[in-house]
Amino acid sequence: MGNDKKIALRNKLENRNVTLPDGTCLPAIGQGTWYMGEDPKKKQEEIKALKLGLDLGMKLIDTAEMYGQGNSERVVGEAIKENRDDVFLVSKVYPQKSGLGNISAACENSLNRLGTDHLDLYLLHWRGSVPLEETIEGMERLKKEGKILRWGVSNFDTADMEELWNTKGGRNCATNQVLYHLGSRGIDFDLLPWHKDHKIPIMAYSPLAQGGSLRKQLLSDDNVNKIAEKYNVSPLQIALAWTIRSNHVIAIPKAVQEQHVYQNAEAVSVELTQEDLNRIDEAFPEPRKKMPLDII
């Protein structure tokens, strides 16, 4: 891809954004890093992919201390060391480390692995036994110390978000990262509407699914394939475009191969019509009742 096309793609990503509660605007497609850092032989390829994604405008990079037992953060640190100021950096803390006695050290360890002095966003990876009040207090302390600029949660269902919202300091939550893709759209029933009402965006992890069954279903579904042909893109790009259709969801697909990085970024150019969405609903119906939150 030539520089002119890269610039055009970056501009599209800048214009297709999602707004955090503090007014920060982020491109609707970022980069995930789950499973990165697990195979030393792939390290350079992973670093190259993340750098390419940044070059294309996908400036949000999401990682976690859990991924590769810290090695994912090390990979990300290498990828961003030359352009940290251009990156919106997200990491996550284990729930058992989210108490006042542990969260500061956990954050400091993540910062050291990432080679930076602050996180743009720090998430509670999932809810554990530590009281929300304590985790919120710890997050707010980290903000005052300048180690994080914002905090949020991950894998919180509607009742969890309601409890968080009604806990002191809980309304400072910037986002909730959950599983969301065409094969797992239970949040469309109540969680996503809750977030829209409270103006807290969703961050969708695994927006193209981890397993191969959904991918096979996407590739073989007539409706999705016809829509893909209409826009001259792949069915997986249609799935990604669908995930960000509401302008209230940031998708963070992972990609290591160069072709997949380009495809993820180019999905931002696809703006599905209501007719397209209706056809997708035929193949992947929206939920008609409350569904348990999917977690993988």
Known binding-site positions for substrate: 125
Active site residue 67: yes
In the set 35, 67, 180, 205, the catalytic residue is 67
Please list the alpha-helical segments (H only) found in 16-65.
Answer: 43-55
Coil vs helix vs strand at 267:
helix
Q: How far apart are CA 59 and CA 225, in angstroms?
A: 29
The residue to which tokens 């019509």 are assigned: 273
Coil vs helix vs strand at 218:
helix
Identity of the amino acid at 141:
R
Q: How far apart are CA 98 and CA 127, in angstroms?
A: 9
Q: How far apart are CA 226 and CA 221, in angstroms?
A: 9
* Cβ proximity of 113 and 73 under 8 Å: yes
- Judged on CB neighbours under 10 Å (0-12, 13-18, 19+), 94 is middle
Coil vs helix vs strand at 128:
coil
* Cβ proximity of 243 and 251 under 8 Å: yes
Q: Which residues fall within 8 angstroms of residue 78, CB to CB, at 6 or more apart?
A: 43, 47, 115
What torsion, rounded to 10 degrees, do the Cα atoms 36, 37, 41, 43 define?
A: 80
Binding residues: 125
* Cβ proximity of 136 and 167 under 8 Å: yes
CA distances from 293 to 155, 191, 267 (A): 8, 9, 26
Total residues belonging to the chain: 296
Active-site residue list: 67
